[in-house]
């Protein structure tokens, strides 16, 4: 008796093999096109969770880095302003010495006084909130004004303001150095997290190209075997029908 079931079973097995090979090709093609090993949750659930956590960490650290960079810019801007204040204080000291000299006349002292007041007023715009001592005493009518005030008191007030400004500049410089250290640390952490993310989710192009080629070869082999099995199955059925016809 002629049996056709083994051929039918073989065809089913070959179709399953072809489907697996086609799926393998599809996965490899997607990974090669996206550059990612994980494109769907089913690809690697644990890896997907780890990748999302790393992505969130990178986003947070980039935001912190941007804040730190802005703060450092603000530090250096403030240092620049304090530097201008200190330069102005030095100019004030020179004006005090000049006004106290015996060669300065009333008109020259008035001009120096106006210049000193303009300089002092600029300090409030350049560095608001900085304690500049009793500089208001150098204003017109003050005890240390440059027209008829106490020049020794004026110089002492300027020296105190200079010390206060130097302390402010030193504080700003220390804050800026810490901010710079913080930025370098954040940049290193971002690089490490990015490299780790790449290891978790990026595809191995060589491995996926090899897998794609293997899937293509196996799929072609499965197709050829399936065609042969289907042809053999058809021939077996035809032979069976011929025998039945002969027995009539």
Q: Give the pLDDT of residue 64.
A: 95
pLDDT (tens digit per residue) in 119-172: 988 888 887 766 566 888 988 888 999 999 899 999 999 999 999 899 989 999
d(CA 26, CA 31): 9
Q: Give the pLDDT of residue 38.
A: 74
Q: Give the pLDDT of residue 156.
A: 93
d(CA 238, CA 248): 16
Tokens of 235: 């021939």
Q: Give the pLDDT of residue 232.
A: 59
- Sequence-distant (≥ 6) Cβ neighbours of residue 9 within 8 angstroms: none
pTM, full prediction: 0.62
CA dihedral 179, 184, 186, 188 (to 10 degrees): -170
Q: Give the pLDDT of residue 118.
A: 92
Q: Give the pLDDT of residue 67.
A: 94
Residue ranges of the chain with pLDDT lower than 70?
1-11, 14-16, 18, 21-22, 25, 129-133, 202-205, 207-213, 215-248
- Sequence-distant (≥ 6) Cβ neighbours of residue 43 within 8 angstroms: 27, 37
d(CA 108, CA 94): 14
């Amino acid at each position: 008796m002629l049996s056709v079931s083994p051929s039918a079973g073989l065809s089913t097995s070959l179709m399953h093999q072809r489907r697996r090979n086609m799926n393998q090709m599809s996965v490899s093609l997607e990974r090669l096109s996206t550059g990612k090993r994980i494109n769907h949750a089913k690809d690697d659930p644990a890896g997907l969770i780890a990748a999302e956590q790393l992505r969130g960490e990178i986003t947070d650290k980039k935001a912190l880095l941007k804040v730190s960079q802005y703060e450092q810019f603000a530090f250096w801007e403030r240092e620049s302003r304090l530097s201008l204040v200190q330069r102005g204080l030095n100019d004030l000291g020179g004006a005090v010495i000049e006004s106290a000299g015996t060669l300065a006349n009333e008109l020259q002292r008035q001009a120096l006084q106006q210049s000193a007041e303009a300089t002092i007023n600029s300090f409030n715009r350049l560095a608001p909130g900085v304690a500049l001592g009793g500089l208001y005493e150098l204003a017109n009518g003050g005890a240390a004004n440059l027209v008829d005030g106490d020049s020794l008191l004026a110089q002492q007030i300027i020296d105190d303001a200079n010390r206060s400004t130097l302390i402010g500049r030193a504080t700003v410089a220390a804050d800026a150095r810490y901010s710079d250290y913080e930025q370098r640390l954040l940049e290193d952490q971002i690089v490490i997290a990015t490299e780790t993310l790449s290891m978790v989710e990026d595809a191995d192009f060589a491995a996926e190209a090899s897998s794609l080629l293997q899937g293509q070869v196996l799929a072609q082999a499965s197709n050829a075997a399936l065609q042969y099995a289907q042809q053999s199955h058809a021939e077996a059925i035809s032979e069976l029908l011929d025998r039945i016809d002969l027995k009539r």
